[in-house]
Amino acid sequence: MTVPRALIWTVALVATVHVTIRDHTFVPAIVHVKPGEAIVWQNTDQDPHTVTSGSKDAGDAKFASSPLIPDGKTFTLRLTHPGKYPYFCKPHQFEASMHGSILVTR
Ligand SMILES: [Cu+2]
């Protein structure tokens, strides 16, 4: 079967980066994406986690925080502006492994 070139381009443009949350750890802790690419976190822990912008208690609100993500559920985020976006999990902000970074570059 021949796949039209236009379709291949479409697939490339909606590439998705996956982050797994397991044992209170974002894996991988640092992800690189292009503007607009989807980042999908999947929680595989029994404990709920969040993806919250910033690196401190209150966060910096560069993007809207996820709700608590239950076991087995996902949260999807797209960032359109290049930059470095540190993030953390609100309930476990004092655990080093519950911090991560998103690097958005053109
Ligand atoms: Cu957490």
Q: What does the pLDDT look like over 61-78, one tens digit per residue?
A: 899 999 999 999 999 999
> 24 alpha carbon to ligand 1 midpoint, in Å?
6
Q: 33-68 burial, b for 16+ CB within 10 Å, e for fewer?
A: beeebebebbbebeebbbbbbbeeeebeeebebbee
Residue of 28, 86, 92 lying closest to 59 (CA atoms): 86
Q: What is the mean pLDDT of residues 90-105?
A: 96
Q: What is the mean pLDDT of residues 70-87?
A: 97
Neighbours of ion ligand 1 (CB under 5 A): 49, 89, 92, 98
Asked whether the predicted pLDDT for residue 5 surpasses 70, the reply is: no
**Total residue length of the chain:** 106
pTM: 0.85
Backbone angles phi, psi at 97, to 5 degrees: -75, -5
